[in-house]
Chain A
Amino acid sequence: MEKALRNKKAIAFFVLPGLVWFAAIAIVPIFQSFGYSFLKWNGITKPEFVGLRNYMEIFKDALFYKAVGNSLLLAFASVFLQLPFSMLLALILAKGVKGENVYRTIFFIPVIISSTIIAQMWMKVYHPDYGLLNTFLRSIGLEGWQKQWLADDKWALVAVFVPMIWQYIGYHMLLFYSAAKGISPDIREAAKVDGASEVQIAFRIIIPMIVPMIKASVIFAIIGSLKSFDLIYILTKGGPLHATEVPTMLMYTEIFTSTRYGYASAMALLIIVECLIFTLLVQTVFGKISKRLD
Chain B
Amino acid sequence: MKKIEPGNIIIQIFLIVFAAIQLFPLYWMITFSLKGNMEIFGGNVLGLPETWRFDNYTKVVEETKLVRYFINSIVVTGLTIFFTLLFSAMITYGIVRLKWKLSKAVYTLFLIGMMIPIHAVLLPLFLNLDPVLNSYVSLILPYTAFAMPLGILIMVGVLEGLPKELEEAAFIDGASIYKIFFHIILPLLTPALSTVAILTFLSSWNELMLAVTFISDSRFKTITTGVMELIGKYSTQWGPVGAGLVIATIPTLILYIALSENVQKSLAAGAVKG
Contacts and interface: CB of A to CB of B under 8 A. Distances in A.
* Co-assembled chains A and B: yes
Nearest to A21: B145
Is the contact region of chain A dominated by helix, strand, or loop, or is it mixed?
Answer: helix
Nearest to A166: B21
A18 B252 contact: no
A155 interface: no
B208 A105 contact: no
B171 interface: yes
Interface in A167-202: 170-171, 174-175, 178
A14 B25 contact: no
Interface string B98-130: 111000001001100101110111111111100
A74 B168 CA distance: 53
B121 A117 contact: no
Contact of A255 (B40, B117, B126, B267): B126
A36 interface: yes
Interface centre among B126, B206, B225 (most CB of A within 10 A): B206
Interface in A209-232: 213, 216, 220, 223, 227, 229-230
A272 B22 CA distance: 33
Query: Which size class do B's interface residues fall under?
Result: 35 or more
Query: Which size class do A's interface residues fall under?
Result: 35 or more
B142 interface: yes
Nearest to A9: B177
Contacts of A240: none
A175 B268 contact: yes
A77 interface: no
A248 B209 CA distance: 10
Interface in A255-286: 255-256, 261, 264-265, 268-269, 271-272, 275-276, 279
Contacts of B255: 112
Given A6-B100, A17-B90, A105 B260 contact: yes
Interface stretch (A24-32, A48-56, A58-66, A145-153): A24-32
A112 B256 contact: yes
Nearest to B45: A135
Query: Which 6 A-B pairs have CB atoms at the shortest separation, nearest pair first?
Result: A18-B87, A25-B145, A29-B124, A114-B206, A29-B121, A14-B94
